[in-house]
Amino acid sequence: MSKINPDDIEVILATDCGSTTTKAILIEKIDGHYRQTYRGEAPTTVEEPAADVTVGVTNAVSEVAELAGRKLLDENDQILRPSNGKQGCDIYISTSSAGGGLQMLVAGVVREMTAASAKRAALGAGAIVMDTISSNDKRKPYEQIQRIRELRPDMILLSGGTDGGTVKHVVQLAELIAPAKPQPRFGDKYRMPIIYAGNIEAWEPVKETFDDDVELSQVENVRPQLDNENLGPARDEIHELFLEHVMAHAPGYDKLISWTDAPIMPTPGAVGNILQTIAERDGINAVGVDIGGATTDVFSVFDGVFNRTVSANLGMSYSISNVCAEATMPNILRWVHVDMQERELRNRVKNKMIRPTTIPQTLEALIFEQAVAREALRLAYIQHKEFATTLKGVQQQRTVGDLFTQDSGGQSIVNNMKLDLLVASGGVLSHAPRMHQTAAMLIDAFEPEGFTTLAKDSIFMMPHLGVLAQVHPQAALEVFERDCLIYLGTCVAIAGQPRPGRVAFRYKITGDISDEGEMIAGELKLLPLSGEQRATVEIEPARGLDCGAGKGKPVSREVRGGEVGLILDARGRELAVGGEKGADRQTVTQWVNAMHLYDD
């Protein structure tokens, strides 16, 4: 990989090799600013007959080249560098999730402490965590060994103990893993990489426990002290081993690695990277979601702390049946405002599962699919909130004011009232026929409180920008701001349960639009506010309800518009829909109409 001076970079080519599609984008410096200009895609070619990822990359790049009128490949299909007039690019970068991405097993002594830290490190690096083994996971040792033997991870992260703490427990874990002889996914010759990130004093005995069947490496402890998490070194090592081992065994990746000007990153790791960069730059709290066919990834940055979760079996095609099984059909149908037959729907869900590439043709099918998406996103967000917590096991200093709270550490750091930006990506959100539907799915599933800006990733560019941020942060941020996000608008919602029939809040809007009025409990209103427009929204919540300044306290904030507009939400939090006490079909229909979801 060559060393590049950022000032000399005029043209950037980036690809993301997904499981099914390889997407290429071109970024060019126009009038002093970086802009995403062209995109192309082609089927990913890691499987037979091509069995070489670079074939798909070349095809996607050819499409970009054709659209841009720029020669990007030479006669040997090598990417031309540096740029010269209408020829070549200055840097080429790539992410990858082909072949099922990076699959890991993590182990730690205490599930809520070192094992949780190890899991956060693995997820943050972009891995799918297949299982977490810990001394207190309620499984007997032989069951844990059996599980390790069944799984075929790409690598293992072993943690446990604080530095200078007890050695015994982490060695005990190593003693379970070593004889289980976990088999990697790729080939007989592949030695399983095991990263040790536990008590530094246990390293020697841990090393003695393993034989030459594994590739053992050591990094700094993920939890050197109980009140301190140190995930960076483990994440870096995961990325390195991902390149060295996993990628090197995937067809054609040795070639692709030699083509790129920066290390290839796992796709979700890159998405997390750009979200973190943006949150840091703007000093905001942000949540990003990517809902795919098989999995849903949720990323969050609250007060500078980054978390990522993967809900492995919540998705809209391969996993749609699992969403229905986990959420249950009544919970899905509560979002549907038209009559549907459950027996028929069950069959449709299974038919989508077995033929995952089909798309809804009728409005009824779309309404149902978006109802399923609400539940998939809701469940994924619940999992995320449960995972993204403050460190457990840390001694708390309490004051008299804390007497009646039983918090013992480990509370979720995800706070919807503090959430500033919610970004959507993934087929069902990105390709919804109307952006109003995307906004409604986000609000219903995530239940943002106070003032929250809603946006979607226009063409799922965040992975490309995540890896670009590593080599050229300025270009990544400029493109993110100008071309990546499509702003849907702002949601203003009160937290708490408004009393039925009563006023939930009063509002006054000034600026590019003017309006004022009252929102009755359960009401939802959409006001036009375009992308270029701004408005100041003053909210006066009813007693007991909160819009960001505290219960019953007025609050005022400048908001941005978007493709959908300004959404005032007086339905309360938590949203109560369906069941005996929740909103009924008639109320749901009113919301559908208020948001102009399916009308002309």
Task: Out of 78, 351, 396, 536, point to the residue binding other proteins (CB under 8 A).
Answer: 351
End-to-end CA distance of the chain: 53
DSSP letters spanning 322-370: HHHHHH-HHHHHTT--S---HHHHHHHHHHHHHSTT----SHHHHHHHH
Asked if residue 36 binds other proteins (CB under 8 A), the reply is no
- DSSP conformation class of 496: B
Of 408, 461, 410, 455, give the one whose Cα is nearest residue 564.
455
The interface region with other proteins, picked from 83-91, 251-259, 342-350, 514-522 by CB under 8 A, is: 342-350
Q: What one-character DSSP code corresponds to residue 499?
A: P
- The residue (of 338 and 354) whose beta carbon lies closer to other proteins is 354
Is the Cα torsion angle 564, 552, 590, 323 positive or negative in sign? positive
Q: Report CA Rg, the chain.
A: 25
Q: Is 343 in the site for other proteins (CB under 8 A)?
A: yes
Rounded Cα distance, 290 and 297, in Å: 5
Q: Considering the rule CB under 8 A, would residue 365 count as an interface residue with other proteins?
A: yes
Cα distance between residue 495 and residue 287, in whole Å: 18
- State which of residues 86, 191, 281, 350 lies at the interface with other proteins (CB under 8 A): 350
Which one of the spans 180-188, 274-282, 395-403, 492-500 is the region binding other proteins (CB under 8 A)?
180-188
Among 10, 163, 175, 215, binds other proteins (CB under 8 A): 175
Q: Do residues 161 and 167 touch, judged by C-beta distance below 8 A?
A: yes
**Residue (126 or 522) nearer to other proteins, CB:** 126
Nearer to other proteins, 133 or 509 (CB): 133
Interaction pattern, residues 439-478, with other proteins; x per rule: CB under 8 A? ----------------------------------------
Q: Which is nearer to other proteins, 376 or 542 (CB)?
A: 376
Indicate whether 142 belongs to the interface with other proteins (CB under 8 A): yes
d(CA 510, CA 294): 44
**Angle 283-94-117 from CA coordinates, rounded to 5°:** 55
Count of all residues that appear for the chain in the document: 600
Q: Which of 6, 141, 500, 579 lies at the binding interface for other proteins (CB under 8 A)?
A: 141
Q: How far is the CB of 181 from other proteins (least distance, A)?
A: 6
Locus of tokens 């007890």? 166
Instruction: Compare residues 26 and 327 and give the one whose CB is closer to other proteins.
Output: 327
Interface segment toward other proteins; rule CB under 8 A; list 33-41, 338-346, 378-386, 502-510: 338-346
For position 109 contacting other proteins by CB under 8 A, the verdict is no
The binder of other proteins chosen from 33, 168, 207, 534 (CB under 8 A): 168
Q: Does 51 sit near other proteins (CB under 8 A)?
A: no
From 11, 12, 19, 129, residue interacting with other proteins (rule: CB under 8 A): 19
- The DSSP letter of residue 510 is E
319 touches other proteins by CB under 8 A: yes
Asked if 7 touches other proteins (CB under 8 A), the answer is: no
Site string for other proteins, 529-568 (x = CB under 8 A): ----------------------------------------
321 belongs to the binding site for other proteins (CB under 8 A)? yes
180 lies in the binding site for other proteins (CB under 8 A): yes
Residues in contact with 240: Cβ distance below 8 Å, sequence separation at least 6, in sequence order: 263
Task: Rule CB under 8 A: say whether 362 interacts with other proteins.
Answer: yes
Sheet holding 265-266, edge to edge: 33-43, 21-30, 11-17, 91-96, 265-266
Residue among 358, 396, 408, 536 that touches other proteins (CB under 8 A): 358
Q: How far, in Å, CA of 45 to CA of 51, rounded?
A: 6
Quick check: 433 binds other proteins (CB under 8 A)? yes
326 binding other proteins? (CB under 8 A): yes
Span 190-249, contacts to other proteins by CB under 8 A: 205, 209
Closest CB 200 distance from other proteins, rounded Å? 15
Phi, psi of 495 (to 5 degrees): -100, 150
Q: At what angle do helices 342-354 and 363-387 cross, to 10 degrees?
A: 70
Residues facing residue 565 across a β-bridge: 489
Q: Which of 146, 396, 405, 536 binds other proteins (CB under 8 A)?
A: 146
Quick check: 21 binds other proteins (CB under 8 A)?
A: no
Q: Which two tokens stand for residue 492?
A: 């203003």
- The amino acid sitting at 572 is G
**Residues from 81 through 100 that contact other proteins (CB under 8 A):** 99-100
Please, which residues bridge with residue 193 across strands? 215
The residue among 199 and 425 lying less far from other proteins, judged by its C-beta, is 199
Instruction: Mark 260-299 with x for binding to other proteins (rule: CB under 8 A) and - for no binding.
Output: ----------------------------------x-----
50 binds other proteins (CB under 8 A): no
For residue 13, state whether it binds other proteins (rule: CB under 8 A).
no
Rounded Cα distance between 124 and 427, Å, is: 23
> What is the enclosing helix (H) or strand (E) of 64?
helix 53-68
Q: What letter does residue 170 receive in the DSSP assignment? A: H
Q: Please identify, using beta-carbon distances, which residue of 1 and 325 lies nearer to other proteins.
A: 325
Which run of H or of E encompasses 386?
helix 363-387
Tell me the number of residues near other proteins by CB under 8 A: 60
**Token representation of residue 87:** 């020829």
Judged by CB under 8 A, the stretch of 114-122, 361-369, 538-546, 571-579 that binds other proteins is 361-369
Nearer to other proteins, 188 or 580 (CB): 188
- What is the distance of C-alpha 419 from the center of its chain? 15
Q: Which residue has the tokens 């670009």?
A: 468
With contact defined as beta carbons under 8 Å apart, do 43 and 20 qualify?
yes
CA distances from 419 to 25, 452, 454, 493 (A): 30, 6, 10, 12
> Which of residues 83 and 322 has its CB atom nearest to other proteins in the complex?
322
| Strand arrangement, sheet containing 524-527 | 305-311, 296-302, 286-291, 421-425, 450-457, 485-493, 565-569, 524-527
* 179 near other proteins (CB under 8 A): yes
Interface residue with other proteins, options 82, 263, 356, 409 (CB under 8 A): 356
Residues that bind other proteins (CB under 8 A): 19-20, 47-48, 99-100, 141-142, 145-146, 167-169, 171-172, 175-176, 178-181, 183, 188, 205, 209, 294, 313, 318-319, 321-322, 324-326, 343-344, 346-363, 365-366, 431, 433-434, 598
